[in-house]
Amino acid sequence: MANTKEDKANSSNRKRRAKPKKSLQRYYDSEHGIRNHWWPGLFSYELKEDDVKGITIAGERIGLRRANGKVYGFRDQCVHRGVRLSQQPTCLTKKTVSCWYHGFTYNLKDGKLCDIVASSNDPLIGRTGIRTFPVKEYCGIIFVFVGDEDFKTPPLTDDLPFKLPKNEPLRAPCIQDKDALALGIHRECIGDWRLAAESGGDPGHIMIHRNSALVLALDIALSLGEPVSGVDSMLIRDEKWPKGVTKYFDNIEPVMHRDDLNIHTYGKTPPYGLRVSLCLPAILFVENWPQPGMTQYEWYVPVKKGYHQYWQVLVKNCPDEMAKEDFTMRYKNAWEDLALKDGFNDDDIMAREAQEDFYNNRNGWDEEQLFSMDQFVVEYRKMVHKHARGVQPPPDKL
Amino acid sequence: MANTKEDKANSSNRKRRAKPKKSLQRYYDSEHGIRNHWWPGLFSYELKEDDVKGITIAGERIGLRRANGKVYGFRDQCVHRGVRLSQQPTCLTKKTVSCWYHGFTYNLKDGKLCDIVASSNDPLIGRTGIRTFPVKEYCGIIFVFVGDEDFKTPPLTDDLPFKLPKNEPLRAPCIQDKDALALGIHRECIGDWRLAAESGGDPGHIMIHRNSALVLALDIALSLGEPVSGVDSMLIRDEKWPKGVTKYFDNIEPVMHRDDLNIHTYGKTPPYGLRVSLCLPAILFVENWPQPGMTQYEWYVPVKKGYHQYWQVLVKNCPDEMAKEDFTMRYKNAWEDLALKDGFNDDDIMAREAQEDFYNNRNGWDEEQLFSMDQFVVEYRKMVHKHARGVQPPPDKL
Amino acid sequence: MANTKEDKANSSNRKRRAKPKKSLQRYYDSEHGIRNHWWPGLFSYELKEDDVKGITIAGERIGLRRANGKVYGFRDQCVHRGVRLSQQPTCLTKKTVSCWYHGFTYNLKDGKLCDIVASSNDPLIGRTGIRTFPVKEYCGIIFVFVGDEDFKTPPLTDDLPFKLPKNEPLRAPCIQDKDALALGIHRECIGDWRLAAESGGDPGHIMIHRNSALVLALDIALSLGEPVSGVDSMLIRDEKWPKGVTKYFDNIEPVMHRDDLNIHTYGKTPPYGLRVSLCLPAILFVENWPQPGMTQYEWYVPVKKGYHQYWQVLVKNCPDEMAKEDFTMRYKNAWEDLALKDGFNDDDIMAREAQEDFYNNRNGWDEEQLFSMDQFVVEYRKMVHKHARGVQPPPDKL
């Protein structure tokens, strides 16, 4: 008869690798997100004059309201009974937002409680309020600074990927260009925001895309991997903001066949100028993708434990109205499906979901075994650990 | 580089108000319900002769059985394998209820195990049993006393709202009147039973009802709030049972417009004789509502954490059959929809659900900020804290 | 005013029977399953050449792959990012299985990482791998040994019910017979695997089957119970493997009527040669059921806490092709529905589900009150406690 002791011994004999986690402790602790960064909240067109909409970033419930064209951000939780103001926008003036429940009314500028519909002389008026969030509209996207109220807000461009000099030979469009047009989608997906960022930037997962419509239609020669570990082709930029790590794909000879393993890819056109960067807070920046002369941005915005808002944006330089119309037409009719949805990126969503159980329920962060091509991802981890401006606490501590 | 210490500091710097919770500790502890009180279980018409039905009150699984007209209450959980007797009523005599699984058979009167179908001479027979619950049928409702077996059962009327003297000028019908007819519905709703009671009694939430069909059809002049805090119009009755707090609405000048906040109500008919009481255990009692000469009762029966059974009952004095038929016809064709469902009360259900996340997941009980009109609700909290006959333990301690 | 102390006292006064749990401690601890046993994984026909399929037994994710006819078992979790290899079988050779994500490639024989598609010279290759599981195909079923890698694998037949001598008078077919044909189904069901085994073997639950199509169509005289406790008719076999407990039903006079309790059964044909055994690891073995000359096997395979895979298999001796065709036709057109599904066994599934809340959320293992006919089940509990080869740890310790 085996006894309980034996059972325990059997169980503990199964090998546990004690991982030197502490070196990246802040990264491992940031399951709820990182703090004091700019994140995209909504596209500008999603918030019309007098709209009030609620979003959740890193567990923070944030209300966004447009009044006289300007967008205001505030804690989307009435101080009274904690309901979301955005649930039933009601009783609005251009200077205030009110709760639909008892009419607690807050100044948009500073969040102070300035009136209560049900009790206009209430002693609580003027003595409390909701916090506000810095908001900046940029290139058709409403960005929100999610952080401490007393934190000195950095410029938004510190949290956007590098703007390269115009004379850089392989330069692709970027969102800071004056003639940039950014078109895209966002959607809530299953998956820790970190796993989303890692799997987006991961240079070794090309296998899952090899039969995708985008790759086949454009006949792109995607490499199954690399003969060498690729550290040479990596550039780490963490001296000033923005901070990120970049990988160059131009000097790689694509591996198209592994006949011994019964797998191959199809395309004939090597990618031109393709560079992949993973930047703080959690932005993928793919230059000259899905075609040379375009750039794909992705944000992996923490929502709540195990979920992120997946932002996918294509950028092109459009110097005039005709160019804008042309890109808009092509985006709507081709690129949105072909590049951002089931023609390519939906495979990434599947791969993220596939990792959730391991990392959430089965000690994945301890037990994962990384290989050489993960060095890119590890550099991003280090960057978050060292340079994130704060680690987000769990929702009940907000 | 921000370090972990800084992160923690940032987090704890966000203000936490230390609330003197202890003053109402029993109230805050009663998320599973309060104990040793009478609660409505089923309408009489829902339990026909020989029926066995199962309900859950405050986590207690209770079986109700009608035999020879009389209703018996018992723990709806077989001592053997813990299944609910009510799941498949089977093998019934007028004196017993049996489990459908192995035929464990219990006396209705005292709950003793008196037979087992599968083993009629079993040594367990006569040595165990299920507890019984006191039951009382009153005005078409089956009430159950949910409490300790050795607790001296108080009269049901101790747990029903006050019966006022007949000569009271604004007196409305009440369930204790001999000619009372009570008609209504009950349904399980999301929401802590306390939040349901509080939001039902809350005098400051009228905003959410201002465009409701009931208010518009009857042209009721509902006030957006009050200029003063309304303490004057409140009566606290906690010297003898029943205990509760009452608010009078007749001396209030309705506030129909807040043009500066872009909100107004529509009606022209001030309510007459309207009084709202919140009584122990968790009963709303609204006299002269939805019309003068009628009364609305609501019970918020704890079911399990985060859920309550919402009882809504209209009472009218009906001295003869014709009056009963008339009220029944009007109830079915008008009042049920107009007063109890989407014409009015469904808005309350929405508002309760909206509070759940804050109170259940985000420290709502600590962080709520009450205003003057909440004094009514605070008085009810005090009453539960002081006078509830017990606090219900969690289901696994039952 | 009742205070908190009183409340607690009330609560603890409600009787708690302190159960001498320790005597069967390993049984009570095995909610995740028992370890180092053979369990059925798939029917042979469910895994065709080159298929890769994933199953879960006792929280272990197991991949099964057929190559050149042989079935291999391995941990279905890539060492890299923890995804299941079986999610998208891809890039296969007859000697390897690869992960669909980055092409981590493992030898089928020993599980060693022998290649990575994305990085064919990676330093990780040869230094890690996934564990393998012993697999045996037997009578059309793929069995997997779920246990420690260093455990000396016992013969499969140690974990199959007893094979009786041919001259035994009431001998029914068994899976070890050379001419046995086994046909059946498996499905994931709600319920702890132990409760499933206990309720399958339970001799006292016949009430729930009394109106079933199988019993009525075959006019079987099922007994409502027994006048005596039935210990006499029980045989405990735990000296050598296989180990189990058997109950004989032939010497029982069926109790067809309990008029005092208003219940009766219908059949006229007493069962012939009916014997019920419950064997390790968790196998029900019902000889001469659903008809004399047939045997029903059931396995209750632990999947994860609160769920089991319910295997139901009918076995008949079929000495030639015509007999096989005949049994297959009868199985498909009659026995599958009549014996295994809604004609009989679906009632057992209902009864298992009915117990889950009590045992999972309400201290069922402490509070259950067993009766004389449960002695059979208690003997099985003892056997698991004493002879199970290990207790399965929770999934996050695997």
Structure-derived torsion over alpha carbons of residues A264, A266, A271, A276, reported in degrees to the nearest 10: -50
The pLDDT of residue C248: 87
The pLDDT of residue A248: 87
Task: Verify whether the Cβ–Cβ distance C103 to A224 is below 8 Å.
Answer: yes
Domain ranges of chain A: 47-135, 154-392
CA distance A298 to chain B (A): 25
The pLDDT of residue A253: 76
Torsions phi, psi for B68 (to 5 deg): 50, 40
Higher pLDDT, A269 or C319: C319
Least CB–CB distance from C261: residue in B105, B124, B393? B105
Provide the β-strand partners of residue B299.
B283, B311
Provide the β-strand partners of residue C185.
C312
Task: Verify whether the Cβ–Cβ distance C81 to A355 is below 8 Å.
Answer: yes
Pairing outcome for strands C60-67 and A60-67: unpaired
pLDDT tens string A147-170: 999 999 999 999 999 998 888 888
By the 8 A CB rule, do C133 and C73 touch? yes
The burial class, CB within 10 Å (0-12 / 13-18 / 19+), for B314 is: buried
Token pair, residue B387, equals: 């006078």
CA A349-A353-A359 angle, to 5 degrees, is 135
Q: What is the mean pLDDT of residues C317-325?
A: 97
The pLDDT of residue A187: 98
CA distance A380 to chain B (A): 15
pLDDT tens string A309-367: 999 999 999 999 999 999 999 999 999 999 999 999 999 999 999 999 999 988 899 99
Helix (H, G, I), strand (E, B) or coil at C181: strand
Q: Which of B25, B90, B101 to mutate to probe the C interface, most C CBs <10 Å? A: B101
By the 8 A CB rule, do B85 and B107 touch? no
CA distance B387 to chain A (A): 25
Residues from B in contact with A at Cβ < 8 Å: 1-4, 6-7, 10-11, 13-14, 204-208, 224-229, 258, 260-263, 351, 354-355, 357-359, 361-364, 367-373
C contacts of A204 (beta carbons < 8 Å): 102, 118-119
Query: Is pLDDT at A22 greater than 70 in this prediction?
Result: no
A contacts of B4 (beta carbons < 8 Å): 25-26, 29, 391
Chains A–B, number of C-beta pairs less than 8 Å apart: 133
Task: Verify whether the Cβ–Cβ distance C373 to B119 is below 8 Å.
Answer: yes
List, as one string, the DSSP characters of A309-333: EEEEEEEEE--SHHHHHHHHHHIII
Query: Is pLDDT at A226 greater than 90 in this prediction?
Result: no
Task: Verify whether the Cβ–Cβ distance C82 to A207 is below 8 Å.
Answer: no
pLDDT tens string A123-149: 999 999 999 999 999 999 999 999 999
Query: Is pLDDT at A63 greater than 90 in this prediction?
Result: yes
A contacts of C54 (beta carbons < 8 Å): none
CATH code of the region C49-133: 2.20.25.10
According to the CATH classification, is domain B48-135 in 3.40.47.10? no
The pLDDT of residue A21: 57
Give the span between the Cα atoms of A38 and A55, in whole angstroms.
14
Query: Is pLDDT at C253 greater than 80 in this prediction?
Result: no
Task: Verify whether the Cβ–Cβ distance A396 to B10 is below 8 Å.
Answer: no
Q: Which residue has the tokens 């007098």?
A: A50
Task: Verify whether the Cβ–Cβ distance A10 to C35 is below 8 Å.
Answer: yes
Chains A–C, number of C-beta pairs less than 8 Å apart: 135
- Ramachandran class of B161: left when φ > 0, alpha when ψ lies in -120 to 50, beta otherwise: beta
Task: Verify whether the Cβ–Cβ distance C225 to B25 is below 8 Å.
Answer: no
Q: In 3-state terms, chain A is what percent helix, strand and coil (to 5)?
A: 30, 30, 45
By the 8 A CB rule, do C232 and C252 touch? no
| CATH homologous superfamily, domain A154-392 | Naphthalene 1,2-dioxygenase Alpha Subunit; Chain A, domain 1 (3.90.380.10)
**For residue A132, how many other CB atoms are within 10 A of its CB?**
20
pLDDT band, residue C112 (cuts 50/70/90): very high
CATH code of the region A47-135: 2.20.25.10
Helix (H, G, I), strand (E, B) or coil at A81: coil
Least CB–CB distance from B227: residue in A90, A121, A393? A121
A contacts of B7 (beta carbons < 8 Å): 26, 35, 390-391
pLDDT over 90 percentage in chain C: 82
CATH number belonging to the domain at B154-393, selected among 3.90.380.10, 1.20.1560.10, 3.30.9.10, 3.20.20.70: 3.90.380.10
Q: Which of A79, A84, A113, A119 to mutate to probe the B interface, most B CBs <10 Å? A: A119
The pLDDT of residue B277: 96
Least CB–CB distance from A123: residue in B351, B359, B372? B372
- Whole-model pTM above 0.90? yes
Provide the β-strand partners of residue B298.
B284, B312
Give the nearest chain B residue to C9 (CA atoms). Answer: B390
CA distance C122 to chain A (A): 6
Give the span between the Cα atoms of A373 and A376, in whole angstroms.
7
Mean pLDDT of chain C: 92
Give the span between the Cα atoms of B258 and C26, in whole angstroms.
70
Give the span between the Cα atoms of C250 and C202, in whole angstroms.
16
pLDDT tens string A240-293: 999 999 998 876 778 889 999 999 998 898 888 999 999 999 999 999 999 999
The burial class, CB within 10 Å (0-12 / 13-18 / 19+), for B157 is: middle
A contacts of B372 (beta carbons < 8 Å): 119, 122-124
Query: Is pLDDT at A9 greater than 80 in this prediction?
Result: no
Task: Verify whether the Cβ–Cβ distance B226 to A118 is below 8 Å.
Answer: yes
pLDDT in tens, chain B (398 residues): 444 444 443 443 344 444 555 689 999 999 999 999 999 999 999 999 999 999 999 999 999 999 999 999 999 999 999 999 999 999 999 999 999 999 999 999 999 999 999 999 999 999 999 999 999 999 999 999 999 999 999 999 999 999 988 888 889 999 999 999 999 999 999 999 999 999 999 989 999 999 999 999 999 998 888 755 555 688 999 999 999 999 988 767 788 899 999 999 988 988 889 999 999 999 999 999 999 999 999 999 999 999 999 999 999 999 999 999 999 999 999 999 999 999 999 999 999 999 999 999 889 999 999 999 999 999 999 999 999 999 999 988 88
Give the span between the Cα atoms of C355 and A181, in whole angstroms.
60
Query: What is the layout of strands, in order, in the sheet containing B135-138?
Result: B37-43, B141-146, B135-138
The pLDDT of residue C168: 87
A contacts of B359 (beta carbons < 8 Å): 82
By the 8 A CB rule, do A64 and A308 touch? no
Query: What is the layout of strands, in order, in the sheet containing C135-138?
Result: C37-43, C141-146, C135-138
B contacts of A387 (beta carbons < 8 Å): 1
Give the span between the Cα atoms of B111 and C223, in whole angstroms.
26
CA distance C303 to chain A (A): 15
List the chains bordering chain C where 3 or more Cβ pairs fall under 8 Å: A, B
Higher pLDDT, C74 or B397: C74
Query: What is the layout of strands, in order, in the sheet containing B113-116?
Result: B90-93, B96-98, B104-107, B113-116
Helix (H, G, I), strand (E, B) or coil at C334: helix
Give the nearest chain C residue to A374 (CA atoms). Answer: C80
Closest by CA position to C279, among listed C60, C42, C37 = C37
The pLDDT of residue B174: 95
CA distance A143 to chain B (A): 22
Task: Verify whether the Cβ–Cβ distance C354 to B389 is below 8 Å.
Answer: no
CA distance A355 to chain C (A): 5
